[in-house]
Amino acid sequence: MSFLAPRGSLMLDVIFLAMLLVVPVLLWSIWQVRVRQKFSLHRQVQLLLAVVLMGTVLAFEIDIQFFTDWKEEAAASPYYCDDSWNAVWTALSVHLSFAVPTLVIWIVVVLRAVRGFEKPPSPGKHSASHKRWGRIAVVGMTGTAVTGWIFYWMAFVATKS
Ligand code: HEM
């Protein structure tokens, strides 16, 4: 049962809302390091975001594998049909092409940052690589959120008239 959309599940709603929080917090954390040079604050916020994101991915997988048949929930969408390729599948494919690489890049960026920077963190030998991959991770996460919201709306909000 969804509390936000006509269809879906509680967990899908939680993920939808979590991403609404993650993107602005992520941009704020980048601003803190870029403009205000608050390296330790950036580290703490990024580690917290990593925990929130891992929890979200885990909760989503448990829900989709064991509790919610998303295709059944999407059946009333005008963009979905059971027997052929449809716009909901396209939206899901675009979303996954952001989400899967972003998850891998995210884990690698965090692990390398924790190992590569001093404690407390400050610019150093790892900076150039971290900035490059950090920016790719930010673009990937923003794309994951936006394409996820589009998929959510098409599958669980839009309704056949
Ligand atoms: C996936 C998580 C992370 C992302 C997406 C990320 C993203 C970024 C980005 C985009 C920048 C460059 C900002 C600019 O344009 O100047 C940056 C800088 C920095 N980050 Fe991260 N970061 C993450 C995790 C971490 C962690 C865990 C640490 C500490 C252990 C850290 C330490 C730093 C430091 C010290 C800088 C400044 C580098 C410099 O200016 O030379 N970051 N981060």
DSSP-assigned states of every residue in 106-157: HHHHHHHHHHHS-SS--S-TTHHHHHHHHHHHHHHHHHHHHHHHHHHIIIII
Q: Give the per-residue pLDDT at 1.
A: 83
* pLDDT by residue, tens only, the chain of 161 residues: 899 999 999 999 999 999 999 999 999 999 999 999 999 999 999 999 999 999 999 999 999 999 999 999 999 999 999 999 999 999 999 999 999 999 999 999 999 999 999 999 999 999 999 999 999 999 999 999 999 999 999 999 999 88
Q: Which residue has the tokens 């509680």?
A: 10
Residue 55 CA, ligand 1 centroid: distance in Å: 21
**Substitution candidate for ligand 1 out of 23, 32, 40, 130 with most atoms within 8 A of CB:** 130
Residue 83 CA, ligand 1 centroid: distance in Å: 46
Q: Give the per-residue pLDDT at 119.
A: 93
For atom 39 of ligand 1, which residue has the closest CA? 123
Count of beta carbons in the 10 Å neighbourhood of residue 120: 8
